[in-house]
Amino acid sequence: MAKQKAVGKKKPAKQEKTGPKAKASAEEKLPAIEVLLYPLITEKAVNMIESENKICFVVEKTANKSDVKKAVEMLYNVKVDSVKTLNDLKGRKKAIVKINKKFKADELATKLGVL
């Protein structure tokens, strides 16, 4: 059986992206103070502060890695090497921030009242 081509039908026009992959305008981006909600204080987070020079924050759901990096650098005057984000089972978005070797995560944690 051969398929017959429909006559008179046109392909639908491509629509613009409107989902989560669409770029946000400058007005939609979060200010630095609203990106970081609070530092996370768990046994695992404290071990990361001491051994790996990383600090963990709970962040706004709409924040991306670059927003978190800019917020930490601006608010705490440290250099950030990398940011990893994840959504946990409690519905929070966590960011694990690796601080540059020139700065110490335990000093930042002491300022924040974590240690």
Q: Is residue 14 part of a domain?
A: no
Q: How many domains does the chain have?
A: 1
Of the two residues 4 and 26, the one the predictor is more confident about is 4
Q: How many other C-beta atoms are found inside a 10 Å radius of the C-beta of residue 49?
A: 24
Q: Is the pLDDT of residue 80 over 50?
A: yes
Q: Is residue 56 part of a domain?
A: yes
Q: How confident is the model at residue 62 (pLDDT cuts 50, 70, 90)?
A: very high
Note the pLDDT of residue 31.
Answer: 84
Give the span between the Cα atoms of 97 and 49, in whole angstroms: 10
Domain housing 105: 32-112
Give the span between the Cα atoms of 32 and 36, in whole angstroms: 7
